[in-house]
C-alpha cells in the first residue's frame, strides 16, 4: 500500500509498461499497476481483497494462480510462486 502512494514508483511502472518490459506483481502488489493506470481492459489476479479495486479500475479479475496479459504478470498468493516464477522467466525470455 505504501508503494502505491509513491509517485516515483508509479512513474517507473508506467515506464516499464511503455517500454514493453514485464511488470510483475504479487498478492497486494497489483494495486500499484492499478494506480499506474495499467489494468483497464486487462486480465488480472490478486489477493482477493484487492478484487474490487481492480474491477473498479476496469480490470477483468480472475481467481487464478497467475495471469499474464501482455507484459503484466500478477499472482494471487504465496502458494502460486512456482507458476509466477515460470511466467516471469517466460516474459524475460520474450524481451531478450
Q: Which residues contact 72 (CB under 8 A, 6 or more apart)?
A: 17, 23, 25, 33, 38, 39, 42, 44
Give the separation between CA 68 and CA 2, rounded to whole angstroms: 24
Give the separation between CA 19 and CA 38, rounded to whole angstroms: 13
Let me know if 60 is a catalytic residue.
no
Instruction: Give the cell for residue 38.
Output: 495499467
Catalytic member of 4, 28, 51, 60: 28
By annotation, the residues acting in catalysis are: 28
Amino acid at each position: 500500500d505504501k508503494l502505491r502512494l509513491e509517485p516515483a514508483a508509479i512513474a517507473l511502472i508506467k515506464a516499464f509498461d511503455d517500454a514493453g518490459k514485464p511488470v510483475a506483481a504479487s498478492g497486494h502488489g497489483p494495486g500499484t499497476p492499478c494506480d499506474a493506470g495499467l489494468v483497464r481492459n486487462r486480465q488480472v489476479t490478486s489477493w482477493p481483497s484487492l478484487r474490487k479495486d481492480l474491477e473498479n479500475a476496469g480490470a477483468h479479475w480472475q481467481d487464478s494462480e497467475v495471469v499474464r496479459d501482455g507484459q503484466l504478470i500478477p499472482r494471487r498468493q504465496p502458494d502460486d510462486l512456482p507458476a509466477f516464477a515460470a511466467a516471469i522467466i517466460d516474459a524475460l525470455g520474450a524481451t531478450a
